[in-house]
Amino acid sequence: MLVADLFSRRAQVTLLKDAPNPVGILRSKATGEPPYSLANSAFFAVKNALMAARADAGTTGWFQLPVPATVDQIGSNGAVDPSKFSLEA
């Protein structure tokens, strides 16, 4: 059973009129969601970049990238072989 089948295909949403939120930040009803979405998009952009780098290096498969993804964790999960680095004069 798909989870999408549990929801109606037609959503009817209305906003409450004259319903202030005196205990919310600046009386807002939704201030926390956009930063969480933005943080997730940055994390998954880094993870997708690592998957592409790993594919270029011939490494496939699952890898764990903890949150927050530090520079050391990103470097170690990139499957980069330091012996392939070279400086040309």
Catalytic residue numbers read 33
Q: Look at residue 51 in the predicted model and tell me its pLDDT.
A: 92
32 φ, ψ (degrees, to nearest 5): -90, -20
Which pTM was predicted? 0.55
Stretches where the chain sits below pLDDT 70 are 1-8, 21, 24-33
Structure confidence at residue 26 (pLDDT): 61
What's the pLDDT at 45? Answer: 93
